[in-house]
Amino acid sequence: MQKRVAICAVAQIKNDPNLWYARFQNMLLECFEGIMSQTKVSFDMEKGIRTVITCSDDVWDARTISDNGMTDVVGAHFRGEEKMSQESLNGLGYAMASILSGHDDVILYMGHMKESQTESRNMCTNLAFDPFYCRPLGMDFVNVNAMQARAYLEKSGVTEKHLAKIVVRSREKAKENPFARENEPIKEDDVIKSPLLADPLRQLHYYPSTDWAFGMLLCSEERVKEFTDKPVWITGYGSCMDSYFLGDKDLTSNFSLKHATERALKKAGIKDVKKDIQLFELCDHAAYQLPMWAEGIGLTKEGNGGKWIDDGGMDEFNVNMSGGMLNGNPLLLGGAARAIECFYQLRGEAGKRQVKGVKRALAQSTYGAAGQHQAVVIFEV
């Protein structure tokens, strides 16, 4: 029988617009203590935590080697510690590979990010572009995503009205999530009248700056009963990166997401996304991305995003019951937030937003401009 990897416990702090009073270590400590109290796991060198994976980024932390100051609080002294300086969902893929390869059988995974402390998110993401051609032009994730948005809206029939509906729904769903960022209630007209960030993206089309931290404990199938009676299994993972230069790719093709999804579904043995998966958490940095990513994972055909929204696709397929990235998660950690929502839903612990009969869930994340790098993870109970 194929071996499986379990998530035994998760912990998180509340998403907040500005945790000015908390250091990174304070944020992580709360999550660390939550994991320890839930599982009673130890740091014994024989049967305890020997490997720790952290998720952070030097640019966003404004320090070289951003994980250096985290080793104390995550128990990584004299242990193996690896940093995922990439979208957090890929940390689950790394943990999965570590366990399935036999490298270790218990892994602690923790991540943090404070977007509030940077002077400009756009200045940070400008550094993702090459220093000779694109960076001097002022490219950043917002204005490049706007290029993708314009092309996608024309291709899919998605309108300003559709985007407003997505934003309002996001905030309504987030009200039922106690860990979600608290935002002002809005109406569709508020979204349509909000200021432009980069045409056609408006201020309310884009996720707000957010601070957050999380923790997870993963283990092999052989040891799962030591830590939980309600494991959530990771059965599939896939990732793919599209071309680096914008001129080398079709911005609306969903190339990397289609390939990441195909790999994750194959690993999980799933043939029909619509029939075999009951919950979807998509990493929508901007409102247009929700229907676009829905096309990429196969919830609707390519170019059909507008009709899919009109036909009630978001509710029919239980998409972003947490409120999604659009309500507010840090850029680097949106995937972890999607995974944690899948965990709660699969264990029947999602409270008022609980979906009945969830047996499988899909989490998707993206990093880089215009969805350059995509990751997909399948969870089951």
In a domain, 317, yes or no: no
Band the pLDDT of 1: cuts 50, 70, 90.
very low
pLDDT in tens, 208-252: 999 999 999 999 999 999 999 999 999 999 999 999 999 999 999
Closest CA to 306 of 316, 294, 298: 294
In a domain, 33, yes or no: yes
Report, as an integer, the average pLDDT of 267-279. Answer: 97
Residues making up the chain, counted from first to last: 381
Give me the number of domains the chain comprises.
Answer: 1
In a domain, 152, yes or no: no
Structure tokens at 90: 């890929």
In a domain, 105, yes or no: yes
pLDDT in tens, 62-77: 989 999 889 999 999 8
pLDDT in tens, 340-355: 999 999 999 999 999 9
Give the integer Cα–Cα distance in Å for 235 and 3.
9
CA angle, 203 then 322 then 259, to 5°: 85
- Please state, rounded to an integer, the average pLDDT across all residues of the chain: 96
Give the integer Cα–Cα distance in Å for 164 and 189.
7
Model pLDDT, residue 78: 87
* Residue 161 C-alpha from the chain's centroid: 25
Q: 3-class DSSP state for residue 102?
A: coil
Q: What's the CATH code of the domain at 217? A: 3.40.47.10
Sign of the four-CA dihedral 226, 322, 328, 263: positive
* Residue 340 C-alpha from the chain's centroid: 9
Beta bridge partners of 220: 5
CA distances for 67 relative to 58, 80, 83, 301, angstroms: 8, 13, 7, 41
Report, as an integer, the average pLDDT of 315-321. Answer: 98
Structure tokens at 177: 């999530």
In a domain, 132, yes or no: no
Q: Is 80 a residue whose pLDDT tops 70?
A: yes
In a domain, 267, yes or no: no
pLDDT in tens, 84-135: 999 999 999 999 999 999 999 999 999 999 999 999 999 999 999 999 999 9
Report, as an integer, the average pLDDT of 14-41. Answer: 97
Closest CA to 331 of 138, 24, 87, 61: 87
In a domain, 352, yes or no: no
Q: Is 3 a residue whose pLDDT tops 90?
A: no
Q: 3-class DSSP state for residue 51?
A: strand
* Residue 205 CB contacts under 8 Å (≥ 6 apart), including other chains: 163, 167, 191, 194, 197, 286, 287, 288
Alpha helices in the chain (DSSP H): 24-39, 58-61, 89-100, 121-126, 141-156, 160-174, 188-192, 255-268, 273-276, 289-297, 305-310, 313-316, 324-328, 334-346
Domain that holds residue 51: 5-118+209-226
CA distances for 381 relative to 19, 270, 360, angstroms: 35, 14, 7
CA distances for 254 relative to 14, 139, 145, 372, angstroms: 32, 21, 13, 9
Other CB atoms within 10 Å distance of the CB of residue 258: 18
In a domain, 67, yes or no: yes
Band the pLDDT of 2: cuts 50, 70, 90.
low
Band the pLDDT of 362: cuts 50, 70, 90.
very high
